[in-house]
Amino acid sequence: MLKSELQTDASLSEYTSDILDAAQRGTELTRQLLAFGRQQVFQPSVLNLSALVKDFRKILRRVVPENIEIRTALKSTGQIRADACQIEQIIMNLAVNVTRCRRAAV
């Protein structure tokens, strides 16, 4: 409802899109945690890996300290069959590990 009300203001509309994206990611994280707790098999689907990584950068930027630059070299990967939550978890783990290594090196 908020998004439809704010479509006239582009800057506020972007915030509502971010809120909706965060809510969707929260839903996926909850599903992932429940599946892990019950040892369920993840549900792979056909997805565009480049698009997933591009979208996930917004979340990484909030997690990774500002003094660390996030760079991606995305090539058109086409479609892959994978669980989006697992791919995002892999990316998050890599980012957290790199952050820890950078802190340890300083």
What total of structural domains would you count in the chain? 2
CA 24 to chain centre: 10
The pLDDT tens digits of the residues spanning 61-104 come to 888 888 888 888 877 767 889 988 888 888 888 888 887 776 66
Token pair belonging to 26: 């929260």
Sign, CA dihedral 24-28-100-55, equals negative
What is the rounded CA–CA span in Å between residue 53 and residue 88? 8
Q: Terminal CA-to-CA distance of the chain, rounded, Å? A: 47
- 67 plus 93 within the same structural domain: yes
Is there a single domain that holds both residue 83 and residue 34? no
- The pTM assigned to this predicted structure is 0.59
Domain shared by 33 and 5, yes or no: yes
> Is the separation of the CB atoms in 12 and 6 below 8 Å?
yes
For 40-49, the pLDDT digits (tens) are: 567 789 999 8
Q: Are residues 49 and 65 both part of a single domain?
A: yes
